Amino acid sequence: MIDVRDLKKEYTEEETPTQALRGVTFSIKQGEFVSIMGPSGSGKSTLLHILSFLDRPSGGSYTFGGRSIDDMNDRELAHVRNKDMGFVFQAFNLLSRLSVYDNVEIPLLYSDIAPSKRAKLVHEAVRSVGLEEKLFVEAGRLSGGQKQRVAIARALVTDPNVIFADEPTGNLDSASGLQVMEVLAELHRKGRTVVLVTHETQTAEFADRIIRVRDGVVESDKPITKHHRASAPLK
């Protein structure tokens, strides 16, 4: 699904170039759960922005779903992003005065999905994260863990090919973070492709594989062979 080869990204500030990525190469298959780890300044956020079409590389190649991003203009990139990618952010990015239903429905308003089908899709997405009883509750009244599960439902509602999760547990306590990761792990077990960016080892180990990035290059790329974690019930 995702293939990057010798990916580079250079930024220039006050005429001084900075190499954020210095030749990154890896592939992610359909249905994989991959964590990208690295310290601050390692390049992992830059990499996520390129993978999710928020930025373009300065060099190298990126193929998504068999198509090179070099062959797509900005409008085509936006279309693929809206159709094939779902996003979960550290800060939730919910509209606090809108209900769970209305927040989850938002991506559908920008899609070509018929209005008659939207209610079913919203209900299915909310059910998948265990929040049916909160469907018409204002998002601002939810706990942090519940807000992040709403954000996951919103990412799912358009049935994307891949979910990008950027530090999804960063604003949560350990129990809520565990619940959120169990939701993402369950989505993966059902065949969803998940790409997670995190600096937390315990969070990263929910994946099949960890790609460690440091100073703009891949330091290691290894499968996870054992999972030592407890499950937390959804509340």
Asked if the model's pLDDT at residue 124 lies above 70, the reply is yes
d(CA 204, CA 135): 30
pLDDT in tens, 169-199: 998 999 999 999 999 999 999 999 999 999 8
**β pairing state of 67-68 and 59-64:** antiparallel
pTM assigned to the model:
0.89
d(CA 148, CA 139): 10
Q: Tell me the pLDDT band of 13, cut-offs 50, 70 and 90.
A: confident
d(CA 130, CA 149): 8
Please give the C-alpha separations between residue 225 and each of 29, 132, 201, 222, in angstroms, as whole numbers. Answer: 18, 34, 14, 9
In contact, 234 and 142? CB cutoff 8 Å: no
Task: State residue 112's pLDDT score.
Answer: 82
Q: Tell me the pLDDT band of 96, cut-offs 50, 70 and 90.
A: very high
pLDDT in tens, 27-73: 999 999 999 999 888 999 899 999 999 999 999 999 999 999 999 99
Q: What tokens does 75 get?
A: 């409008």
**Residues 119-128: what's their mean pLDDT?**
95
Percentage of the chain exceeding pLDDT 70: 96
